[in-house]
Chain A
Amino acid sequence: QTVVTQEPSFSVSPGGTVTLTCGLSSGSVSTSYYPSWYQQTPGQAPRTLIYSTNTRSSGVPDRFSGSILGNKAALTITGAQADDESDYYCVLYMGSGMVFGGGTKLTVL
């Protein structure tokens, strides 16, 4: 069974730029997987950031952007802020349903 892979953890300095990725254990991610990205802080429900690879959800600041980089989906945060410290999950549409990646814990320090 194909697994959706994400970096377990990442750190970024305030004001810096970070790119989180979302790959497959077998194969390449393309727009046909309709990658989406979600942000979750402890004890809270997830918040939708990006869908269909690069479309920002309503109210999401433009320092969050999505793309395909090489064979992976990517979420780039430009000008990181302290309240960006969260868990970030990608989701891919796999034909039979949606599959979450394991999530990336982003630290801003």
Chain B
Amino acid sequence: QVQLVQSGAEVKKPGASVKVSCKASGYTFTGYYMHWVRQAPGQGLEWMGRINPNSGGTNYAQKFQGRVTMTRDTSISTAYMELSRLRSDDTAVYYCASGYSGYDYGSGYYYYYMDVWGKGTTVTVSS
């Protein structure tokens, strides 16, 4: 079955970087976009950006431009999200989600949504 397995919890100091991984299985990794979404404690969901695992092309939310880098390793079906210059308000659960972000050649339609979600990775930023 389709599954996204994320890396374990991280504790980082302010100013450091964190890199979260998301290993996909059960589907063709390069056939679907990978979105990244975060949720601060007690807050709502926030879209951070997405990567096209086939081309490596990325689209980041303006808020995270310059601080976030999304990459992938197709040989191991794994996507990565690195966030730099961490602040205390980056403390959150970070989710990866496979899905769509544009024209789907298989169906001939446009789709924009997140489909299958990972269980989340807790990142705590504290001095």
Residues of chain A whose beta carbon lies under 8 Å from any beta carbon of chain B: 34, 36, 38, 40, 45-48, 51-52, 57, 87, 89, 91, 93, 96-103
Contact = CB atoms under 8 A, between A and B. Distances in A.
B113 interface: yes
Interface residues of B, number: 29
B114 interface: yes
Main secondary structure on B side of the interface with A = strand
B44 A100 contact: yes
Contacts, number: 70
B114 A38 contact: yes
Interface of B: 35, 37, 44-47, 49-50, 59-62, 95, 97, 99-101, 109-120
Nearest to B95: A45
Closest 3 CB pairs of A and B: A93-B112, A51-B113, A36-B113
Given A97-B49, A97-B62, 13 more contacts: A38-B114, A45-B119, A46-B37, A46-B114, A48-B116, A52-B109, A52-B111, A89-B44, A93-B112, A96-B62, A98-B35, A98-B112, A100-B37
